[in-house]
């Protein structure tokens, strides 16, 4: 089991929570981005730098992740692809994306993108706050406890 992080847009506080949890639970964690990612010194934490370009990091995650892995992302199209592979998907706000809700989120995202293209501005999501960080940390810890590899 591996934790994958869509690191290009991962908020710093969430990255820190992920690193601490991975080290504490001895879980391999791979951060995928099109830029260099600074990580604590641990053999469990690795950075994969991909070429710049549209969806290059996303494609790397889709191609390398396996059923049962966990991906941290706020990218809804990426989440939709991963759910089809039986990969667990958690957003930085602590929300699970799965077969029950990812299509609805994808349709809402596409609808909002259409509104933005027509000149309407929705203002985007609110900034990540302490409640979001706590929700994320709690969901990550719960998932790690349930999916801890057997020794």
User: Could you tell me the pTM of the whole model?
Assistant: 0.86
Query: Per-residue pLDDT for 149 more than 70?
Result: no
Report whether pLDDT(8) > 70: yes
The residues pairing with 72 across neighbouring beta strands, listed in sequence order, are 5, 90
| Residue 5 CB burial class (10 angstroms; 0-12, 13-18, ≥19) | buried
Residue 112, pLDDT score: 61
What DSSP state is assigned to residue 79?
H
Kindly indicate whether the domain formed by 3-146 is annotated with CATH number 3.40.50: yes
CA 140: distance to chain centroid? 11
- Please state, in angstroms and as integers, the Cα–Cα distance from residue 65 to each residue in 8, 32, 109, 126, 127, following that order: 17, 11, 24, 29, 29
Q: Which of 1, 67, 68 is nearest to 29 (CA)?
A: 1
Q: What is the pLDDT of residues 85-113, one digit of tens each?
A: 999 999 999 999 998 877 777 766 665 66
Spell out the SS3 assignment of 6-64: EHHHCCHHHHHHHHHHHHHHCCCEEEEECCCCCCCCCCCEEEEECCCCCCHHHHHHHHH
The length of the chain in residues reads 151
pLDDT band at 54 (very low <50, low <70, confident <90, very high): confident
Which pLDDT value is given to residue 78?
Answer: 92
Domain boundaries, the chain: 3-146
């Amino acid at each position: 089991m591996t934790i994958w992080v869509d690191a290009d847009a991962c908020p710093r506080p969430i990255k820190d929570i992920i690193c601490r949890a991975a080290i504490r639970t001895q879980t391999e964690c791979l951060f995928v981005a099109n830029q260099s990612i600074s990580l604590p010194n641990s053999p469990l934490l690795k950075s994969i730098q991909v070429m710049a370009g549209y969806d290059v990091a996303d494609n790397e995650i889709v191609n390398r992740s396996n059923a049962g892995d966990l991906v941290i992302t706020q990218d809804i199209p990426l989440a939709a692809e991963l759910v089809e592979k039986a990969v667990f998907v958690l957003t930085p706000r602590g929300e699970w994306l799965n077969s029950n809700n990812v299509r609805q989120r994808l349709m809402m995202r596409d609808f909002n993108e259409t509104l933005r293209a027509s000149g309407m501005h929705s203002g985007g999501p609110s900034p990540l706050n302490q409640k979001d960080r706590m929700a994320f940390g709690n969901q990550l810890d719960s998932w790690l406890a349930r999916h801890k590899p057997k020794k």
